[in-house]
Amino acid sequence: MARPAAQPSRSICRVTELLHRIEDIVAPTIVGMGYELVRIAMGRGGTLQIMVEPSDGRSMDVEACATLSRALSALLDVEDPISGSYMLEVSSPGIDRPLTREKDYVRWTGHVARVETAQPIDGRRRFKGTLLGLENGTVKLKLDDGNEARLPLASVSRAKLELTDALLDEHRRAHEGGAGNPTH
């Protein structure tokens, strides 16, 4: 959702509160329609992005995004949590998806990810390596230099899969088999 900051400003706190309020409004409908909420973000230019994926692992198509968009738009029109105008964008996470939930770090173990932390850890904030999973609230990465980084999940401000041949191959296999995201 919103990026945590070392010392949050009032505007970041307001955005975070707004995103939590929007999540409270839309999550029951998303779940009721058979999907999971991946991320809610407010982009520059007034775009409200709601990222979802099917809860049963099937692939997401344009029609599903359109159906969800109509339902969530009507709901947000009634609840009216955002003052002013905005554009609603309902999307799927895509292949090089963001990692936003604990289960994402487990599900995508073995794939390359870029992780950014709110505060420096061992003198740096940006890490790239192969996900080794999540253990006791700590993201484990095998870095390109062979070392292992252990990053508290609470300190992660942004994380995303890196587009690699292995990720593309898994995505291709999943779609050829008719399933969405297979489990490891």
* 92 CB burial (10 A radius; 0-12, 13-18, 19+): buried
Nearest Cα neighbor of 42 from 24, 25, 28, 22 is 22
**Average pLDDT score, the chain:** 87
Say if 44 falls within a structural domain.
yes
Whole-angstrom Cα Rg for the chain: 17
pLDDT in tens, 125-168: 999 999 999 999 999 999 989 999 999 999 999 999 999 999 88
Asked whether residue 78 falls in the same domain as residue 116, the answer is no
Element (H, E) at 169: helix 165-176
> What's the pLDDT score for residue 89?
95
The reply to whether 68 and 121 lie within a common domain is no
Pairing of strands 87-91, 47-54: parallel
Output the pTM of the full model: 0.77
User: Is residue 2's pLDDT more than 50?
Assistant: no
Q: Are residues 49 and 74 in the same domain?
A: yes
- Is residue 97 domain-resident? no
